[in-house]
């Protein structure tokens, strides 16, 4: 959903609630657990966050509080949303004078001894169609990494027309998210 004006908080919440009960905008929910289906662009970025128990604890806390979205041009609604399967969020993006309101729902959660994160899938009114996984991992040497894996393709007409621009925004989001997580863990 693209707009020229910022939606009001009540409009964002109404949008989030209206999308919550809808089906995903793609058929293979959980696809970031395996190889991508045909026709999806693949984006993966990764960064080292440091090492040790404190870094691990801060990295998991940052995922739980959606800190990977602290980019300035992207807003998560509602930032207190629990990291659990079925949680629906709205993502508000403001770029080049356009506002884009998108909805996604958590498909699965990873909560192992050395891995924590989740994947969310796009809902019908998201500009893109696909799934994105946000994960922190602790290696045997104690080093902690943050990893994003996304499979996507355009879902709305403007996203199809502006595909090169949308792909650039996806790359920008990935790089910004790495920086946001690095800042969150270093605090």
Residue with tokens 């026709």: 39
Name the pLDDT band for 1 (thresholds 50, 70, 90): low
Q: pLDDT value at position 94?
A: 95
Name the pLDDT band for 162 (thresholds 50, 70, 90): confident
Name the pLDDT band for 83 (thresholds 50, 70, 90): very high
| CA–CA distance, 100 with 175 (Å, rounded to integer) | 19
158 against 101, higher pLDDT: 101
Find the mean pLDDT for residues 62-71. Answer: 97
Q: pLDDT value at position 19?
A: 95
CB 89 within 8 A of CB 16: yes
Prediction pTM value: 0.94
Residue with tokens 């709305």: 156
CB 70 within 8 A of CB 183: yes
Bridge partners (DSSP) listed for residue 115: 137
The yes-or-no verdict on residue 165 having pLDDT over 80 is no
């Amino acid at each position: 959903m693209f707009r020229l004006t910022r939606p009001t908080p009540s409009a964002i919440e109404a949008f989030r609630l209206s999308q919550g009960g809808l089906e995903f905008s793609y058929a293979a929910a959980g696809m970031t657990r395996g190889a991508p289906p045909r026709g999806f662009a693949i984006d993966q970025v990764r960064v080292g966050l440091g090492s040790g128990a404190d870094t691990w604890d801060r990295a998991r806390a940052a995922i739980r509080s959606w800190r990977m979205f602290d980019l300035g041009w992207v807003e998560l609604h509602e930032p207190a949303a629990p990291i659990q399967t079925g949680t629906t969020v709205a993502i508000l993006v403001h770029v080049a004078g356009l506002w884009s309101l998108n909805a996604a729902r958590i498909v699965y959660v990873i909560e192992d001894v050395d891995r924590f994160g989740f994947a969310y899938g796009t809902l019908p009114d998201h500009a893109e169609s696909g799934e994105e996984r946000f994960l922190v991992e602790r290696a045997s040497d104690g080093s902690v990494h943050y990893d994003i894996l996304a499979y996507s393709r355009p879902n709305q007409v403007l996203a199809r027309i502006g595909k090169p621009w949308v792909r650039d925004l996806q790359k920008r989001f990935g790089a910004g998210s790495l920086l946001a997580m690095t800042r969150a863990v270093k605090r």
